[in-house]
Amino acid sequence: MQKFLLVAILTIAAGGAAQSDPHTDYLLYCRGCHLHSGEAIPDAHIPSLHELGPLLESPEGREYIVRVPGVSQTPMSDKRLAAVLNWVIANFNIDTLAGNFKPYTADEIGLIRQKVLVDPLKTRAAILKQ
Ligand code: HEC
């Protein structure tokens, strides 16, 4: 009986990994801090994930979103991370997104995530002041 249960659990886990989708990855890797809804938690200095539109208007802002530690350091492949960010943008930011937005690609993520930000809030403020 125990063996059967173990096989069932492993089968479900493997199936889940093979069919990983960006919403599930968001729930697994981002929700712990950003909540189900992506809303801000000011007391914990967690920003809203609904205000990325203005950041995405400059190349620096587009990079910033990938460089924040919670994103760049997440234990996810470049491809899955690109899909999660594109999911966050499409689901939480569609109202403020510029019409010419191009989705993140895995190659782009791979290059940018190597440049991890140590002082995200300072960088964010500088980008939005430009
Ligand atoms: C351990 C908590 C934590 C996790 C997990 C986390 N984040 Fe964050 N995130 C933060 C904090 C805190 C900030 C504010 C910048 C900083 O201090 O790093 C932030 C900033 C951001 C920003 C920049 C928003 C802005 O307007 O400045 C984005 C985008 C983001 N996170 C997306 C994600 C995504 C996508 C994931 C999952 C792959 C994720 N985060 C996982 C805590 C987390």
Q: pLDDT at position 99, please? A: 87
* Residue 109: half-sphere exposure toward Cβ, Cα within 13 Å: 19
For the chain, percent of residues with pLDDT exceeding 70: 85
Nearest CA owner, ligand 1 atom 1? 33
Predicted model pTM: 0.88
71 C-beta closer than 6 A to ligand 1: yes
* Position 16 pLDDT exceeds 50: no
Query: Mean pLDDT over residues 109-123, rounded?
Result: 95
Total domains in the chain come to 1
Using one digit for the tens of pLDDT, what is the confidence trace for 39-82?
999 999 999 999 999 999 999 999 999 999 999 999 999 999 99
125 C-beta closer than 6 A to ligand 1: no
Domain with 64, as residue range(s), is 20-129
Q: What is the DSSP string of 40-96?
A: -BGGGTBPPSS--TTGGGSHHHHHHHHHSHHHHTSSS-HHHHHHHHHHHHHHH-GGG
Considering the domain boundaries, does residue 8 fall inside one?
no
Considering the domain boundaries, does residue 51 fall inside one?
yes
The CATH number linked to 118 is 1.10.760.10
74 C-beta closer than 6 A to ligand 1: yes
Q: Which of 28, 34, 36 to mutate to test the pocket of ligand 1 (most atoms within 8 A of CB)?
A: 34
Q: pLDDT at position 98, please? A: 87
